Amino acid sequence: MTEHIVKQFDEDLKSLSEMIAEMGGLAEKLVAESIAALLKRDINGAQRIIATDRVIDRLQHQIEEKAVLTIAKRQPMAVDLREIVAALRVSNDLERIGDLAKNIAKRVIAIEGQLQPPKIAGGVDHMGELVLAQLKKVLDAYSGRDAGKALEVWQRDGEIDALYTSLFRELLTYMMEDPRNIGFSTHLLFCAKNVERIGDHATNIAETINYLVTGEMLTDERPKQDLTSTLAFGGAQ
């Protein structure tokens, strides 16, 4: 590439990174707010989250467009292409994280006024804190191109899964105790599942960072997975 083209390309990459940073900040904010809204039963907050999710969707399309135009105009080679593929993948995961936060917000509105048992609220709170820490760390790892930090995120996803499995069991027990808890607990079950999936997307981003830095995919199976889909709950336990 000529010096001029190299400079333009660097500017394109910088602007892509800035867009991802903006999107990441927004996704983080939506996740924090959706969990807070769930714990505080904050209907107004929930409605704000639902409206803000569109901004994330728009950002994703802008990043996609910018990425593709950058490739077409600058014809980058290997390592630079990875930068752009990574931007596409990360923006895709962030868009899904925004969607999941929005879905939690919708359920906050649905369960308005219903009692929340303190033990379960505590479980959601704990999962939320962990997933937010993972999300923050992986976004830092992305902006610092830090494969080591990304690997830490990747390795810690199992903790979120374990918390989810324990919350899943508690919610089922709670449903069995009194049929009046079923409707409400079902919404919480989906909320907890959404938080767990946000953790999965943070792990996807960690994999993308590793690919970006090393050029290789993490081929090992992930450390742990959500096990609840394989738990055979008999009715009587």
- The CB-of-55 to its own copies minimum distance in angstroms stands at 15
Instruction: State yes or no: residue 184 binds its own copies (CB under 8 A).
Output: yes
Measured from the CB atom, the residue of 118 and 237 that comes closer to its own copies is 237
Shortest distance (Å) from residue 220 CB to its own copies? 13
Amino acid, res. 148: G
Among 101, 212, 194, CA closest to 151? 212
Q: Would you state the structure tokens that stand for residue 22, as one six-digit string?
A: 């903006």
- Interface with its own copies (CB under 8 A), residue from 43, 71, 147, 162: 71
Q: Which is nearer to its own copies, 137 or 192 (CB)?
A: 192
Round to whole Å and give the CA distance between 152 and 156: 6
What lies within 8 Å, CB to CB, of 133 at 6+ separation is none
Cβ proximity to its own copies, 55 vs 109, nearer residue: 109
Distances (CA, A) of 4 to 10, 18, 72, 96, 152: 10, 21, 16, 36, 38
What's the min distance (Å) between Cβ of 93 and its own copies? 11
Site mask for its own copies (CB under 8 A), range 187-216, x = bound: x-xx--x-----------------------
Q: How far is CA 80 from the centre of its chain?
A: 25
Rounded Cα–Cα distance for residues 134 and 124 (Å): 15
178 belongs to the binding site for its own copies (CB under 8 A): yes
Q: How many residues bind its own copies (CB under 8 A)?
A: 49
Give residues 87-146 in contact with its own copies (rule: CB under 8 A). 88, 92, 103, 106-107, 109-112, 114
Count CB atoms within 10 A of the CB of residue 213.
Answer: 17
- Which of residues 44, 77, 118, 219 is near its own copies by CB under 8 A? 77
Residue 182 near its own copies by CB under 8 A: yes
- What does DSSP assign to residue 112? T
Options 139-147, 150-158, 185-193, 201-209: segment touching its own copies (CB under 8 A): 185-193
Query: Which listed range, 8-16, 80-88, 142-150, 153-161, lies at the site for its own copies (CB under 8 A)?
Result: 80-88
Of 49, 159, 23, 174, give the one whose Cα is nearest residue 107.
Answer: 49
Give kind and range of the element (H or E) at residue 45: helix 43-74
**Exactly one of 39, 43, 81, 162 binds its own copies (CB under 8 A); which one?**
81
